[in-house]
Amino acid sequence: MTSKAGSRVIAIEEHYVHPELAATFANWRSGQPASIVDRLLDFNETRLAEMDQAGIDVQVLSHAPPATQQLGADKAVSMARRVNDALHHAILRHPARFAGFAALPTIDPEASADELERAVDKLGFKGAMVHGLTDGRFLDEKPFWPIFERAEALDVPIYVHPAMPHKAVADAYYKGHPILTGAAWGFGVETATHALRLILSGVFEAYPRLKIILGHLGEGLPFSLWRVNDIVQRTNKLPRSLREYFCEHFYLTTSGNFSFPALQCSMLEMGADRILFSVDWPWASNVDGVSFIEGSPISPDDREKMLHGNAERLLRM
């Protein structure tokens, strides 16, 4: 199977939901159209048919937010194992079509590191996806660093995906305008902040081969990177510039941001080798995502890199 342009297509931010985990969150179906819920629970007919319709060969599956990150330590570790095992079995039913990112019980960083290693070495997963805050804390805090240490040792990336902003932030900034709290704005601001905090924390000095993925063409950071770097460097004397850390340790995906100006900005700032194709299924359309890359005025070589080459290299696919 190939896209209309004849390319292999690997999409790396494509979501699912594990029913047992989802049931731990009250009213998780509320606010979601039935069609989204059905797709999140599906690993066969609808998912594969919509992949085929768009010419997508492989989805790298990740649990929708918040996955296991908002569970207490008494439940998170065992739940993450069950969720990852279930995803592994779903992948085995269609091994040519699916791969996986692990869910991690980040409330317990040491257990998260061990679960990441198990998921990579025993289940064949390609890395992990984390969703926003853990008990109100960003992952740049040093107690969480065992996760990054293990990711570097395993040579797999951590995908930092949005989740709901801290309640205090949501109340202060988005009260009266709830549409801004989530994917429209608040998700991106929170995740961009997470990325900048990681750079400032020194984690990339401690783990110089650590790789981080951001979705949605970098959550706005490529557009702001020169200015952020310029101002940070005036007072924070990092061993390297903030811009260098970002361009050397981060990868971006096209998930849910099918804008050529945004893609062009990301390419100019990061280079085509750092951008991977994603859809953000089922919240975005496979057809729209593939058509966006195929219709963008970029070189054939860059198109091949984004559609499959960069994922094959980064995720060893």
- In the sheet that 212-214 helps form, which strands lie side by side, from edge to edge? 128-131, 158-161, 212-214, 250-253, 275-276
Pairing label, strands 212-214, 158-161: parallel
- Among the options 171, 280, 301, 302, which is catalytic? 280
280 is known as an active-site residue? yes
CA 269/CA 262 separation, integer angstroms: 11
58 DSSP β-pair partners: 10
DSSP 224-269: HHHHHHHHHHHH---SS-HHHHHHHHEEEE-TT---HHHHHHHHHH
Q: Whole-angstrom Cα distance, residue 202 to residue 190?
A: 19
Walk across the sheet containing 58-63 and list its strands: 10-16, 58-63, 98-100
DSSP 103: -
Pair 125, 102: CB distance under 8 Å: yes
Residues catalogued as catalytic: 280
